[in-house]
Amino acid sequence: MFLSICSITSQAAQLPPLDFKTLEGDPITLDAYQGEVRLINFWATWCPPCIREMPALGRLEEAVEGHARVVAINVGDMSDQVEAFVLENFDGAEPEIWLDEPGAAFMTLRLEGLPMTFVLDKEGEVIDKVIGEREWDSESVVNYLKELAAE
Could you read off the pLDDT of 126-143 as tens digits, one per residue?
999 999 999 999 999 999
Could you read off the pLDDT of 86-134 as tens digits, one per residue?
888 776 778 999 999 988 998 888 888 999 999 999 999 999 999 999 9
Q: Could you tell me the pLDDT band of residue 1, with boundaries at 50, 70 and 90?
A: very low
16, containing H or E segment: none
Does 2 score more than 60 pLDDT? Answer: no
Whether the Cβ atoms of residue 38 and residue 2 lie closer than 8 Å to each other: no
Cα–Cα dist 105/30, whole Å: 12
For the chain, the domains span: 9-150
Cα–Cα dist 34/105, whole Å: 19
In residues, how long is the chain?
A: 151
Which architecture characterizes domain 9-150 according to CATH? 3-Layer(aba) Sandwich (3.40)
What is the value of pTM for the model shown? 0.90
Does 52 score more than 50 pLDDT? Answer: yes
Q: Alpha helix locations (H) across the chain?
A: 48-63, 79-89, 104-108, 139-150
